A and B are shown apart, each in its own frame.
Chain A
Amino acid sequence: IAGITQAPTSQILAAGRRMTLRCTQDMRHNAMYWYRQDLGLGLRLIHYSNTAGTTGKGEVPDGYSVSRANTDDFPLTLASAVPSQTSVYFCASAQAGGTGELFFGEGSRLTVL
């Protein structure tokens, strides 16, 4: 089934631990994004990639890193998790041209204790 897959769906993590959220899409979209969603706030962009091999910082990049080695995969790494990184994380992709609508993964709920 075409779409975006995120893993894990849910994770509880001790503060200070390293964590990688995985994201894979099979739609051959050029652009990919990582957002966090917190209660009462709009989606906030963490990092993005307009094409394989390039990445950029979004609105809230501190404490996070990404890589884009190929078109399909866009992992998000928390080098040393802190409680303020407790959130729901959404990966999304979009094709260049057209409306540029985003297609979202199902989300990864991360709790940092």
Chain B
Amino acid sequence: GQNIDQPTEMTATEGAIVQINCTYQTSGFNGLFWYQQHAGEAPTFLSYNVLDGLEEKGRFSSFLSRSKGYSYLLLKELQMKDSASYLCAVRDSNYQLIWGAGTKLIIKP
């Protein structure tokens, strides 16, 4: 079966750095996405990786290793507004998205 694993919840301190991991087993691979979802709101797109390596976008970076079935989202200089759930999703060989359950990130002052 297809599976996306990510931690249920993480806590970090304002101003610090946090890394949210995602491992996957899917039927084929056609890209990995990270979305941010604030409580009660819709998910919004953060990043996309299809090749191995690091993609940097401001305070957020996303890394992919296809051989290990592994990705992480790195958030730097954490702000209180970064408190949200972070969703990892993989597009499989049928170009359908398989979603993880999300990681709830709690930022403390």
Which residues of A are in contact with B by a Cβ distance under 8 Å?
40-45, 48, 58, 90, 99-107
Residue of chain B at shortest CB distance from A101: B45
Which residue of B is nearest A45, CB measured? B96
26 of the cross-chain contacts (CB-CB < 8 Å) are A40-B101, A42-B4, A42-B89, A42-B100, A42-B101, A43-B87, A43-B89, A43-B97, A44-B99, A45-B96, A45-B97, A58-B96, A90-B42, A90-B43, A100-B95, A102-B33, A102-B35, A102-B43, A102-B45, A103-B45, A104-B42, A104-B44, A105-B42, A106-B42, A107-B41, A107-B42
Q: Is residue B76 within 8 Å, beta carbon to beta carbon, of the partner chain? A: no
The residue that B99 contacts in the complex, of A40, A43, A104, with Cβ under 8 A, is A43
